[in-house]
Structure 1
Amino acid sequence: MTDQNTTTLQNDNTANKKVWFITGAGRGLGTDIAKVALAAGHAVVATGRNPEKVVQAVGEHDDLLAVKLDVTDPAEAAAAVQAAVDRFGRIDVLVNNAGNFYAGFFEEITPEDFRAQIETTMFGPMNVTRAALPVLRAQRSGLVVTISSTAGMAGGEFLSAYAASKFGVEGWAESLAPEVAPFGIHSMIVEPGFFRTELLTPESTSYADSTIEDYADRTEQTVKAWQSMDGQQGGDPAKLANALIQLAELDEPPLRFAAGADAVGVFEARAAALEDQADAHRELSSNLAHDDA
């Protein structure tokens, strides 16, 4: 290969190189996304509450910047975004991944824990995105990826706090899309089914104390079932990370991505259920206008 061809190849690689900003990169899916993005030749700003643990999880790399970030702290979000710009000059893909899981029946989840769930998995992505949007607007480009869950499409028992946060983040991210589209910015919501991440580990999941006898048996059964699923989930987070890299390359990324065959099933069931509910009382629903309308 001639020197001229080598230079051309290097320029092409530089042109294709993107800066990924990933929250919750110290373990689980965030670590996989960071590793895959680096392997694909991109630069990565990997954030977490402990940057040293982030580096240990992702591995040393010339194009890696590990930054301290608690997503519930707007000041830390602003500082992390500034650190990314200082190092790499831009942000092309923001991945709102950091999360936790407060599980339990609604009556048994304390108000404090319910609020803590919302603070992390709903307001957390909002804090980081609010800090990053001025950068993306100035560039007139960018992709905001929000890791939601099938619990953001369909609620279920033991999921009241988590589903509330995910339903909320979905409404926010879907509404954000048309607001920022004129600036060349896209919003993509990712709804994973069950993946072999660390979401069900003791480090990520907090179970409400069993305090009400009426729920006691179901609580015991549900906790045992979920604990037994930890490490046995069917989804491969490395494959999901690869899928996100592919989707981020599209000129028009999807507004929603069903991650996993089980997630596709949830999408289909939800669509069918909504159609059934629309039809069930169609005449009553359609006759609620003023008589003079």
Structure 2
Amino acid sequence: MKNWLITGCSAGFGRAIVEAALAAGDRVVATARRPETLEGLGATRTAALDVTDDRQVDRVVADAVRDLGRLDVVVNNAGHGSVGAVEEFTLAELRAIMDVMFFGAVAVTKAALPHLREQGSGTIVQISSMGGQVTMPGFGAYCAAKFALEGMSEALAAEVEPFGVRVLIVEPGAFRTEFGGARMHRSRTIDAYAVSTSATRAATDSMDGTQPGDPAKAAAAIVRAVNSPDAPLHLALGDDAVDAIAAAQARRAADLHAWEQISRGTAGDWSRTARP
């Protein structure tokens, strides 16, 4: 039996992961900014948690360890979608997005790590997105948060491996998780950007509830990976995620190869260039 702490459990992936972990016989502390949304979920414990409130993060993690005796899995899922061109976003909007989806995840991770290191085991699950590997017009702010989360998490994985702690970065494609619905943040519009972002805006306005991915199946895959001794660092979920990430990696490899000679030719004669 594993003990889980999961953020953002009011709907979508968070709620589905709670249900999958409970079905596996595990115990779960489910959290949400508005705890009344967790009624009827059946979690072992529930707690109010705004991941942008550092003191609340520390308290909820400490309470979970106290109540359950230990933590085995910490899932950073809190967040929301966002659409808008880079110029259309205000800096305040961008900071707010990063605060929830990057700094919030970092805060929860840092609060849990001392407990996981001390016990010599545990898994940090970062719910990223195929947008942590792939970008498109109109998703710059959202992808920025996910790229940052993945960069931090890759470094973290190497840092905590000696302590028996693992990191799992989950990269879903389009799933029926209310992404694109009322919780979707939408920036102001600048008419000039209709040429490059109008298709993205239209897609987000119409996708909610029609996405091909099943959150219950995604949750089951995450539970399976958590329980697998050979889980990957990156776990893509959905045909669209696998295809888009593979294509992005192929483009990067092609660019690297095409410009390899020029890239390697930037080395200089240190004995001459390093002179004052």
Q: Give how far 1:217 is off.
A: 5.8
Taking structure 2 as the reference length, what is the TM-score of the superposition?
A: 0.94
CA contact 2:31–2:46 (8 Å) conserved in 1: yes
Cα deviation, 1:57-77, whole Å, max 9, x if unaligned, reads: x2x35xx10011111111111
Q: Give how far 1:80 is off.
A: 0.7
Residue of 26, 43, 55 corresponding to 2:27: 43
Is 2:15 the counterpart of 1:31?
yes
Residue of 217, 220, 235 corresponding to 1:257: 235
Q: Distance in 2 between matches of 1:274 and 1:87?
A: 47
1:69-148 equivalent positions in 2, closer than 5 A: 69-148=49-128
CA contact 1:102–1:161 (8 Å) conserved in 2: yes
Q: Distance in 1 between matches of 2:197 and 2:101?
A: 23
CA contact 1:23–1:48 (8 Å) conserved in 2: yes
1:267 aligned partner: 245
How many residues align? The count is: 271
Taking structure 1 as the reference length, what is the TM-score of the superposition?
A: 0.89
1:58-73 equivalent positions in 2, closer than 5 A: 58=41, 60=42, 64-73=44-53
Q: Give how far 1:292 is off.
A: 5.2
Residue of 187, 190, 197 corresponding to 1:208: 187
Is 2:176 the counterpart of 1:192?
no
1:213-292 equivalent positions in 2, closer than 5 A: 213-216=191-194, 219-291=197-269
Cα deviation, 1:193-242, whole Å, max 9, x if unaligned, reads: 00011121112x111112x2212465554322221111100000000000
Cα deviation, 1:61-102, whole Å, max 9, x if unaligned, reads: 5xx100111111111111111111121011101111111122
1:152 aligned partner: 132
From the superposition, tell whether residues 159 and 290 of structure 1 become closer, same or farther in structure 2 (CA, over 3 Å): same
SS at match of 2:201: helix
Cα deviation, 1:132-160, whole Å, max 9, x if unaligned, reads: 00110111000000000111101110011
CA contact 1:21–1:94 (8 Å) conserved in 2: yes
Residue of 176, 181, 206 corresponding to 2:156: 176
From the superposition, tell whether residues 255 and 107 of structure 1 become closer, same or farther in structure 2 (CA, over 3 Å): same
Q: Distance in 2 between matches of 1:65 and 1:152?
A: 31
Residue identity in the other structure for 2:97? Q
Q: Distance in 2 between matches of 1:76 and 1:261?
A: 37
SS at match of 2:87: helix
**Tell me, which stretches of 5 or more residues in structure 1 are unaligned?**
1-16
Q: RMSD value over aligned CA atoms?
A: 1.4
Q: Give how far 1:52 is off.
A: 2.2
Higher RCO (C-alpha under 8 Å, 6+ residues apart): 2
SS at match of 2:181: coil
Q: Distance in 2 between matches of 1:282 and 1:144?
A: 36
SS at match of 2:266: coil
SS at match of 1:252: coil
Q: Distance in 1 between matches of 2:197 and 2:156?
A: 37
**Tell me, which stretches of 5 or more residues in structure 2 are unaligned?**
272-276
SS at match of 1:235: coil
Q: Distance in 2 between matches of 1:290 and 1:222?
A: 45
Q: Distance in 2 between matches of 1:207 and 1:180?
A: 37
Q: Distance in 2 between matches of 1:131 and 1:164?
A: 23
Residue identity in the other structure for 1:52? E
